[in-house]
């Protein structure tokens, strides 16, 4: 497990820190993105580390005492795919969440898709958290067997940090998708999911971009990306929004 990079305030001292909170919910993988140097993105659960390309590390974080990387909207990404994650990931039930922040208010109207987090098998089985090509809009999407569940939140102009989360539970379980913005569910609960099929693609699972070409690169900062193997409850998402 790579614990030698970045600031370790989160794991030292008596006061409960944000990273400890995330860990307390037992994620499948967790990338705090707190490094100040190097190309390794620490993954705190199993050491299934990500690999940075092009990011600028050591930038201001969410306010938890740790830093975050800056993505340039051009060439940057954190490749979070590993064979181990591919084997462990459950596309039919889970949660993804991440903090994001745009570089400037103009990013909201730059007419480009910018992905904070994308996890994909193929065009019919994927999920993502993204700034939409539509002005001032964030979009959450879960797609399984070609059945698409989308939630969009419009009217956004913030240049502060925001928290996106997506929970899903497939057709044989709760059969619903929920999107969360800043700890509160946004949009309607989506129902009638398809059944996820296939394994995560080696080139299409990233923080800060749609894929590792890369395309649709984020322009701003991202931190504390995590994946769970269960849909977190609304109260848990609300708690994770509190720093």
Partner 1 sequence: MAKVHCYFGVENLALNDSQRDTLSAGLRQLGPASHPQPACLCHWRKRLDGDACIFEALFDEDVLTVAVFKQRLATLFGIDPGDVGHSTSQESFAEGKTPVVTFSYGGTDYLRMALFGGTATTWMQSGDEARGYLKAYQEEWEAEL
Least CB distance to partner 1 at residue 132 (A)? 10
Q: What stretches of 78-231 show up as alpha helix (H) in DSSP?
A: 83-88
Residues for the chain: how many in total? 243
Options 9-17, 26-34, 208-216, 225-233: segment touching partner 1 (CB under 8 A): 208-216
The contact pattern for partner 1, residues 217-236, with x = CB under 8 A and - = no contact, is --x-----------------
Instruction: Count the neighbouring beta carbons within 10 Å of the beta carbon of residue 158.
Output: 12
Least CB distance to partner 1 at residue 69 (A)? 8
For partner 1, the binding residue among 32, 54, 100, 170 (CB under 8 A) is 54
Distance CA 25, CA 54 (A): 31
For partner 1, the binding residue among 44, 55, 151, 232 (CB under 8 A) is 55
3-state secondary structure of 57: strand
Nearest C-alpha neighbor of 10 from the set 23, 20, 24, 22: 20
Least CB distance to partner 1 at residue 36 (A)? 8
Options 87-95, 175-183, 206-214, 226-234: segment touching partner 1 (CB under 8 A): 206-214
Options 15-23, 48-56, 163-171, 177-185: segment touching partner 1 (CB under 8 A): 48-56
Rg (CA), the chain: 16
3-state secondary structure of 30: strand
Distance CA 87, CA 84 (A): 5
For partner 1, the binding residue among 1, 3, 4, 75 (CB under 8 A) is 75
Least CB distance to partner 1 at residue 212 (A)? 10
For residue 44, give both structure tokens. 């705190």
Write the CA distances from 204 to 13, 39, 236, integer angstroms.
Answer: 38, 18, 28
Residues that bind partner 1 (CB under 8 A): 36-39, 52-57, 72-76, 110-113, 133, 210-211, 213-216, 219
């Amino acid at each position: 497990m790579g614990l030698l990079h970045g600031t370790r305030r989160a794991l030292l001292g008596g006061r409960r820190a944000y990273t400890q909170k995330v860990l307390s919910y037992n994620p499948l993988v967790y990338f705090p993105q707190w490094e100040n140097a190097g190309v390794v993105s620490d993954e705190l659960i199993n050491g299934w580390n990500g690999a940075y390309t092009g990011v600028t590390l050591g930038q201001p974080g969410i306010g938890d005492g740790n830093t975050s990387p800056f993505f340039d909207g051009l060439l940057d990404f954190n490749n979070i795919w590993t064979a181990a994650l591919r084997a462990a990931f459950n596309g039919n039930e889970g949660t993804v969440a991440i903090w994001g922040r745009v570089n400037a208010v103009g990013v909201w109207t730059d007419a480009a898709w910018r992905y904070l987090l994308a996890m994909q098998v193929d065009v019919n089985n994927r999920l993502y958290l993204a700034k939409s090509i539509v002005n001032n809009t964030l979009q959450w999407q879960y797609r399984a067997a070609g059945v698409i569940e989308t939630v969009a939140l419009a009217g956004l102009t913030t240049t502060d940090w925001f928290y996106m989360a997506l929970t899903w539970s497939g057709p044989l379980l709760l059969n619903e998708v929920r999107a969360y913005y800043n700890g509160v569910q946004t949009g309607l609960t989506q129902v009638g999911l398809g059944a996820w099929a296939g394994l995560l693609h080696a080139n299409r699972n990233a923080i800060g971009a749609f894929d590792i070409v890369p395309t649709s690169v984020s322009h701003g900062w991202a931190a504390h990306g995590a994946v769970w193997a269960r849909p977190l409850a609304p109260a848990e998402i609300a708690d994770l929004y509190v720093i």
